[in-house]
Amino acid sequence: MILGTHAKFKMKTFKDLKFKPHPSGFGGYHARMNFRNGYGISVVRFNMPFGGGYGSYTDNENEWECGILHENQLCYDSGLADNVIGHLKKSNVSELMVKIQKLKKK
């Protein structure tokens, strides 16, 4: 269990994400989660049509692409990343989620 600064507050990780079908219609999955500090995360993986491979920054079904959000918009100035981050395993997504939750509220 990963605890935040308050012992009663449990940090959210990959297992807490609720995935839905990706809106591209090409297959794949998408989840979003907002955190108490105003930041959030978007996690995706989807296929390209006609056997074109993956359309997200992933190469296989074990990788995910993440975008850091602030107030529900992609955020490029969090200090954690200046673009979306691809080729992440579930454990890497969890690590990123914890770092996002530790960001100071803007």
Tell me the per-residue pLDDT of 20-66, one tens digit each, with 9 for 90 and over.
998 877 788 999 999 999 999 999 998 776 667 777 788 888 999 99
Per the CB < 8 A criterion, the answer to whether 61 and 45 are in contact is yes
Q: How far is CA 68 from the centre of its chain?
A: 7
Which residues 6+ apart lie within 8 Å of 86 measured at CB? 56, 57, 58, 63, 64, 65, 66
Q: Whole domain around residue 39: which residue ranges? A: 14-101
CB atoms within 10 A of CB 87: 14
pTM higher than 0.85: yes
CA distances from 46 to 9, 65, 77 (A): 32, 9, 25
The region, left, alpha or beta by phi > 0 then psi within -120 to 50, assigned to residue 38 is left
Establish if 7 belongs to a structural domain.
Answer: no
Establish if 94 belongs to a structural domain.
Answer: yes
pLDDT higher than threshold 90 for residue 94? yes
Establish if 19 belongs to a structural domain.
Answer: yes
* CA separation for the pair 25, 33 (Å, rounded): 21
Number of structural domains, the chain?
1
Establish if 106 belongs to a structural domain.
Answer: no
